[in-house]
Amino acid sequence: MAKILVVDDDQGMREFLEIMLTKEGHDVTSAIDATKALNRCKKDHFDLILTDLRMPKVDGIEFLKSVKDVSPETMVILITAYASPETAVSAMKEGAYDYIEKGIDVEELKSIITGALDKKGVRETDALFIKVVEDAVSFSNMIGKSRGMLNVYKDIKKVAETPTNVLILGESGTGKELVAKAIHENSPRKKMPFTVINCGGVPESLLESEFFGHMKGSFTGAHVDKPGLFEIAKGGTIFLDEIGELPPYLQVKLLRVVQEKTFRRVGGAEDIKVDVRIISATNRNLEKKVKEGSFREDLFYRLNVIPIHVPPLRERKEDIPVLTKYFIEKYSTAFGKEIKTISSYAMELLMNYPFPGNVRELENIIERSVALETSNIILPENLLISGNLQEISNFTDANIPDDGIDLNDEVAKYEKHLIEEALKKVRGSKTKAAEILRVSFDSLRYRIEKLGIG
């Protein structure tokens, strides 16, 4: 049952709407003009207002503006006998849910009213949820209060109750596995297994066996029957990280699991049925891989039913202080130290750093800083030790102190940082690192040895 206010100077129309809405089970109040209606809105809350457009003294558009000032969440539908495109546009700009003509079919009107009330319910749920997470710092082991993370939390709540496949998009280190786990833990499957496999971290020759298991004797070393991760995850959720690294022959087999919910073990002849929710993640552009022909289009659309984008840390800098505080507390406890905070200048360095490694990199920086710190506050010099952060900031700002710098030393530090980041980006491949740094392989190898990069 909803609380609805009907506003119309036409008694016949007012009574018609009152009777119809009361029969639908709603609590209906009416007013003869906008002034009386607005006074009611100030004293009571209404879920929905149905108002005439043309009324004496104050018309429907002005009334709509006033209602949105008093009660922004109230849905408003304007009804008029004098429809025009200009007025419709004006009504929508001011926040009307819909703009309809008098004489509309009753069933259609009921449908519009139901849609408005449904939308209001969603808005109220979202607003309540946002208030809850804004009042906290974390949600399902994820830390952050930025608008970007609040949107991620909201998406998690929406998709968790459904069985739909989800594709999580985001750079390395943004916390895609935490998002997948949060979906699982907020879903009806939360008491069943949550199984993780990194598609880029298992040798290609072993991937099929990891996915689907194998039968004894199916290949050298297969001494016993072994269930795969899809069997282990039965009834629960399987998280396929780095799905873009999946080889083509396994894409075909995965597509069959997604479509038919069946698979066979390596060397097996029996179809095994499985009920499992698939959540995938990638830091690659899968749409580009589809166009290039290296990722199946049909599999992409099966996995990408609902996408969730996790923003990089550089786009949610307001989360850096709360993440830093969390990691200081975590590693102070782990290392038996009593470090409580971070100096303002050290925090400024963190806030100005682009974090190519995202949250994972911030955690590593704080872990090293806590390990090295001898006082009860993290100072800038220990951030400098933990990843050359200060040198990078100084390089970016081009600040040279009055007593000068050692140019060769500063350039070497920055060169070392760039090479380390390149190696991290290509998972340690020196050949690929040389390509993206645009130097020869021999030149890169010489620099790595000279700079002592492990």
What CATH number did the domain enclosing 225 receive? Answer: 3.40.50.300
Long-range contacts, stretch 121-128, CB < 8 angstroms, 24+ apart: 123/73, 124/73, 126/154, 127/73
- Indicate whether 56 belongs to any domain: yes
Structure tokens at 233: 């995850």
Statement: residue 388 has pLDDT above 50: no
* 332 and 439 inside one domain: yes
- Domain end: 68, 92, 126, which one? 126
Residue 46's domain comprises 3-126
- Indicate whether 137 belongs to any domain: no
Range name among 132-136, 251-255, 360-364, 447-451 with the lowest pLDDT average: 132-136
* 57 and 91 inside one domain: yes
* 146 and 290 inside one domain: yes
- Indicate whether 132 belongs to any domain: no
Q: How much is the average pLDDT of 190-199?
A: 91
* 221 and 277 inside one domain: yes
Per the model's pLDDT, the better-predicted residue between 394 and 404 turns out to be 404
Contact 263, 234 (CB under 8 A): no
* 220 and 150 inside one domain: yes
432: Cα within 13 Å, side-chain hemisphere: 10
The reported pLDDT for the residue numbered 166 is: 94
Contact 277, 289 (CB under 8 A): no
* 173 and 213 inside one domain: yes
Distances (CA, A) of 268 to 202, 264, 317: 22, 6, 51
- Domain end: 311, 332, 365, which one? 311
- Indicate whether 85 belongs to any domain: yes
- Indicate whether 136 belongs to any domain: no
- Indicate whether 260 belongs to any domain: yes
Statement: residue 239 has pLDDT above 90: yes
What CATH number did the domain enclosing 100 receive? Answer: 3.40.50.2300
Statement: residue 335 has pLDDT above 60: yes
Long-range contacts, stretch 378-385, CB < 8 angstroms, 24+ apart: 378/328, 378/339, 378/341, 378/342, 378/343, 378/346, 379/343, 379/346, 380/343, 380/345, 380/346, 380/349, 382/346, 383/346, 383/349, 383/350
* 246 and 380 inside one domain: no
Q: How far apart are CA 218 and CA 269, in angstroms?
A: 11
Specify the DSSP class assigned to residue 310.
P
* 291 and 321 inside one domain: no
| pTM check: above 0.75 | no
- Indicate whether 135 belongs to any domain: no
pLDDT by residue (tens digit) across 273-310? 989 999 999 998 999 999 999 999 999 999 998 899 99
CA 65 to chain centre: 33
Q: Is the dihedral of CA 439, 442, 445, 449 positive or negative?
A: negative
Statement: residue 81 has pLDDT above 80: no
* 52 and 81 inside one domain: yes
Q: How much is the average pLDDT of 408-425?
A: 79
The reported pLDDT for the residue numbered 390 is: 45
* 102 and 147 inside one domain: no
pLDDT class of 58 with cuts at 50, 70, 90: confident
- Domain end: 311, 337, 372, which one? 311
φ/ψ region of 267 (left if φ > 0, alpha if ψ in -120 to 50, else beta) reads left
pLDDT class of 85 with cuts at 50, 70, 90: low
Q: How far apart are CA 185 and CA 279, in angstroms?
A: 13
Per the model's pLDDT, the better-predicted residue between 209 and 128 turns out to be 209
pLDDT by residue (tens digit) across 145-175? 888 888 888 889 888 888 889 999 999 999 9
Contact 367, 356 (CB under 8 A): no
pLDDT by residue (tens digit) across 248-267? 989 999 999 988 889 888 88
Please count the other Cβ atoms lying within 10 Å of the Cβ belonging to residue 214.
Answer: 22
Q: Structural domain tally of the chain?
A: 3
* 263 and 377 inside one domain: no
Q: How far apart are CA 334 and CA 187, in angstroms?
A: 31
Cα–Cα nearest to 153, from 126, 121, 172, 124: 126
Structure tokens at 144: 């952050």
What CATH number did the domain enclosing 446 receive? Answer: 1.10.8.60
pLDDT by residue (tens digit) across 433-445? 888 877 667 667 7
Q: How far apart are CA 157 and CA 127, in angstroms?
A: 13
- Indicate whether 133 belongs to any domain: no
* 258 and 356 inside one domain: no
Q: What is 313-356 written as a DSSP string?
A: GGG-GGGHHHHHHHHHHHHHHHHT----EE-HHHHHHHHH---T
